[in-house]
């Protein structure tokens, strides 16, 4: 392990920052106290600070030297609507909200990197520290791009990082091309004709639509996609009926679709529409499909992935950097930034062993042993990309 000395020295302070953030989680676009905390720390470091982008976003700016080159480093601020069950001394004090995805760790590592880089003064150029709100479900990354992130803060590349509890501490993983999936949602509303459950012949049973539709939707991936193409269709909600002896008038199905490329995404949506219309016609009822493309796939560019590999290897050793991990169908709104700028999104190992709680679990707590590693990666990446004259 080759930690940046200034980042390693900050570890006690990083743990304190992370525990404070973990105890005070705020969800999408409500990260006011979190943003104020971040902005105050950045100002204490002597950085230029801008607030208000996407509402609660914060941009820290570190300039040194004469170069006009710039890179962006991004962390997410928001928590989730989950009741924490970690039992940690620093557990959430906000009922029903918790940092179950480790964004408290992401914010802390980027703050640590900002402080270390400001102390070292070994860059020639500008680093933009991007603290983004609302990664979970609400697309804060998209909002930042739409509100002029890259126009107001011009940079040649942007980099992101997420903790990964299925990888051991002290390891990284990243790959050129798709690393995480596109996130789509759908809602199907089928309207039949309600009736007494003892006289189904007098109605048009939408539950019959639901049972056939769920099975047929699962056939899209197995029977319409190339065997080597990846896609997921999951029905996650079924809403209908209020009592035992009434056939409902309507059923609502909701779920999610995941994919890595646009052609697969288009095929799944097209087949879903055909299936919904066909089953509705079969059972003499009407049905509508609302299909919404929420997050695109997270796609890393070639050159920037190489830069990320070099930085991670310098910190933990090349043997601990997986450059061809299996892509994951979870999604990430950093994808919107990667659509606008070249960059790379990496996974940082935070696993303590096979019993480490997974992300979005009420028992999850970011592994503090990774804080100095992640901060060192950011420092190393920035200094490699903006090298000062020696």
Tell me the pLDDT tens digit for each residue of 252-268. Answer: 999 999 999 999 999 99
Identify each DSSP E strand in the chain by its residue range: 48-51, 58-64, 70-76, 125-132, 157-168, 172-173, 177-180, 182-191, 195-196, 231-239, 246-247, 250-259, 286-295, 298-300, 321-322, 343-351
pLDDT digits (tens, 9 = 90+) for 315-324: 999 999 999 9
Give residue 353's pLDDT. Answer: 87
3-class DSSP assignment, residue 53 = coil
Beta-carbon contacts of residue 9 (< 8 Å; ≥ 6 apart) = none
pLDDT digits (tens, 9 = 90+) for 208-240: 999 999 999 999 999 999 999 999 999 999 999
3-class DSSP assignment, residue 253 = strand
**What angle (nearest 5°) sits at the alpha carbon of residue 62, between those of residues 3 and 56?**
100
- If pLDDT is split at 50, 70 and 90, which confidence band does 390 have? low
CATH of domain 182-295: 3.30.70.360
Eight-state DSSP code of residue 108:
H
Residue whose token pair is 């983004």? 132
pLDDT digits (tens, 9 = 90+) for 56-96: 999 999 999 999 999 999 999 999 999 999 999 999 999 99
Give residue 194's pLDDT. Answer: 97
- Is pLDDT of 326 > 80? yes
What residues does each domain of the chain span? 5-179+297-385, 182-295
Report the chain's mean pLDDT, rounded to a whole number.
97
Q: What is the C-alpha separation between 346 and 160, in angstroms, rounded? A: 6
Task: Provide the token pair at 331.
Answer: 């999604």
Mean pLDDT of 168-179: 97
Pairing of strands 70-76, 58-64: unpaired
The radius of gyration of the chain's CA atoms, rounded to the nearest angstrom, is 24
Sign of torsion, CA 305 310 315 318? positive
pLDDT digits (tens, 9 = 90+) for 197-211: 999 999 999 999 999
**What angle (nearest 5°) sits at the alpha carbon of residue 157, between those of residues 156 and 161?**
160
Give residue 87's pLDDT. Answer: 96
Of all residues in the chain, what percent carry a pLDDT higher than 70?
Answer: 100
Of all residues in the chain, what percent carry a pLDDT higher than 90?
Answer: 98
Mean pLDDT of 346-370: 95
Give a three-class secondary structure readout of 76-96: ECCCECCCCCCCCCCCCCCCC
- Is pLDDT of 31 > 90? yes
CA-nearest of 182, 252, 256 to 213 is 252
121 to 67, 154, 231: CA distances (angstroms)? 13, 21, 46
5-179+297-385 maps to CATH 3.30.530.20: no
Give residue 272's pLDDT. Answer: 98
pLDDT digits (tens, 9 = 90+) for 265-302: 999 999 999 999 999 999 999 999 999 999 999 999 99
């Amino acid at each position: 392990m080759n930690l940046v000395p200034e980042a390693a020295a900050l570890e006690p302070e990083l743990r304190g920052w992370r525990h404070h953030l973990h105890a005070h989680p705020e969800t999408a676009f409500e990260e006011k106290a979190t943003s104020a905390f971040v902005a105050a720390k950045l100002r204490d470091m002597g950085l230029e600070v801008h607030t208000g982008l996407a509402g609660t976003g914060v941009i820290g700016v570190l300039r040194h030297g004469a170069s006009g080159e710039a890179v962006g480093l991004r962390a997410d601020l928001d928590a989730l609507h989950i009741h924490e069950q970690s039992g940690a001394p620093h557990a959430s004090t906000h009922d029903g909200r918790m940092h179950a995805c480790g964004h408290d760790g992401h914010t802390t590592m980027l703050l640590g990197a900002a402080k270390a880089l400001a102390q070292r003064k070994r860059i020639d150029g500008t680093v933009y520290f991007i603290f983004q709100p609302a990664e979970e479900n609400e697309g804060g990354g998209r909002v930042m791009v739409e509100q002029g992130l890259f126009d107001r803060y011009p940079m040649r590349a942007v980099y992101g990082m997420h903790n990964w509890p299925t990888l051991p501490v002290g390891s990284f993983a990243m790959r050129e091309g798709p690393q995480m999936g596109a996130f789509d949602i759908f809602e199907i509303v089928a309207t039949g004709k309600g009736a007494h459950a003892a006289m189904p012949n007098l109605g048009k049973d939408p539950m019959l639509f639901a049972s056939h539709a769920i099975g047929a939707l699962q056939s899209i991936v197995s029977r319409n996609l190339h065997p080597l193409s990846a896609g997921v269709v999951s029905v996650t909600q079924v809403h209908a009926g209020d009592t035992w002896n009434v056939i409902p008038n309507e059923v609502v199905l909701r779920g999610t679709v995941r994919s890595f490329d646009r052609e697969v995404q288009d095929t799944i949506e097209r087949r879903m529409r055909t299936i919904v219309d066909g089953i509705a016609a079969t059972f003499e009822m009407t049905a509508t499909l609302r299909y919404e493309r929420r997050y695109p796939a997270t796609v890393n560019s070639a050159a920037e992935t190489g830069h990320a590999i070099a930085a991670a290897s310098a910190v933990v050793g090349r043997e601990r950097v997986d450059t061809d991990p299996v892509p994951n169908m979870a999604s990430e709104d950093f994808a919107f930034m990667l659509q606008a700028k070249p960059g790379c999104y990496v996974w940082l190992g935070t696993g303590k062993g096979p019993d480490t709680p997974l992300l979005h679990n009420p028992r999850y707590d970011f592994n503090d042993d990774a804080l100095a590693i992640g901060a060192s990666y950011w420092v190393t990446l920035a200094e490699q990309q903006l090298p000062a004259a020696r």
